[in-house]
Amino acid sequence: MSEEVKTIGVLTSGGDAPGMNAATRAVVRAGIAAGLQVKGIKRGYAGLLNEEIVEMDSRSVAEIIERGGTILYTARCAEFMTEEGQKRGAEICRKHGIDGLVVIGGDGSFRGAGKLAELGINTIGIPGTIDLDIACTDYTIGFDTAINTAVEAIDRIRDTSTSHERVSIIEVMGRHAGYIALWCGIANGAENILIPETYDYDEQKIIEQIIRLRRSGKTHHIIVNAEGVGHTMEMAARIEAATGIETRATILGYMQRGGSPTCKDRVYASIMGAKAVHLLKEGKTKRVVAHQGGEFVDYDIAEALAMTKEIPPDFQTVSQELLRV
């Protein structure tokens, strides 16, 4: 058990995600409700090292639960990857009286949080990334909003694709993980879902499938491609050349990371934010809040970072069985 915390800090780090504001609001309000002083640290670890630290009160998080992005801004910080940077970060926390810190971000941000915890700052991580690529949790802040945004965009592309009887290949975000592509591909009824975890890179098989389905009367062919597989433009050109069917490529890009968070992202982020504060209040440190098996839980950061997760078998089955006929 660590010493009782009196002042907590909150920062957002890595790629932003819709719902981060809801989590920040929950940290601030749960902190105040628990009798703690709360400080906001702007621009992630970069802002910590630059001492961009502001007092937060209940009003400073008013009217942000419905807003995308992060009012605290976010950044990546190379200096914080160094031992010297981490020591300076811990000293700056102490200088500002911050004895507890909530870090909202992905795996990288949790590594930084783990280092601060080892240097004596009570630290709790909250999973915030649209990619769902944090092994210890089946929910990450922003994923639900991102997939709903992407699904709507792909529906629109499908309309025009069908009218022109084209093949459409749509790239969604996920540099290292295919969860966005997998969920959207199933929800949009895509004919192919290409994700880094399972794609066999057999493009000829896709080409033959397109030709077969076109002969059987299908008027469109949607391929949802994960950023981690990439080469979307080149693939479209090759497919058009091989099939003789007009093929268009769309990269959805950053529009997936913005926008007002869904109800689920607002609610789960709120619960996780409050839980992080409760853990700090109980004297816990070096933990990460997670959602597993229908419950909000917490794990040691090092244990959480050592976990791995696989694409659930049911998702694999559905993505393979339903999409190729």
Residues near ligand ADP (CB under 6 A) = 13-15, 45, 76-77, 80-81, 105-109, 111-112, 115, 129
The yes or no reply on residue 15 touching ligand F6P (CB under 6 A) is yes
Sketch the per residue contact string, 251 through 270, with ligand F6P: x for CB under 6 A, - otherwise: ------x-------------
Integer Cα distance of 242 and 7 in angstroms: 63
What secondary structure letter does DSSP report for 5?
Answer: P
Shortest distance, position 257 Cβ to ligand F6P, whole Å: 6
Integer Cα distance of 29 and 25 in angstroms: 6
Q: Number of residues in contact with ligand F6P, rule: CB under 6 A?
A: 9
Count the Cβ atoms, other than its own, within 10 Å of residue 51.
11
The yes or no reply on residue 107 touching ligand F6P (CB under 6 A) is no
**For residue 272, what are the contacts with CB-CB under 8 A and spacing of at least 6?**
23, 26, 126, 127, 141, 289, 291, 296
Look-up of token digits 């911050």: 98
The yes or no reply on residue 70 touching ligand F6P (CB under 6 A) is no
Q: Which is nearer to ligand F6P, 86 or 109 (CB)?
A: 109
Judged by beta carbon distances under 5 to 8 A according to partner kind, the member of ligand F6P, ligand ADP, none in contact with residue 319 is: none
| 202 annotated active-site | no
**For residue 37, what are the contacts with CB-CB under 8 A and spacing of at least 6?**
6, 7, 8, 31, 55, 97
Judged by CB under 6 A, which stretch of 3-11, 167-175, 216-224, 268-276 contacts ligand F6P?
167-175
Integer Cα distance of 120 and 60 in angstroms: 28
> Annotated active-site positions, please?
131
Where do contacts with ligand F6P occur on this chain (CB under 6 A)? 15, 129-131, 173-175, 227, 257
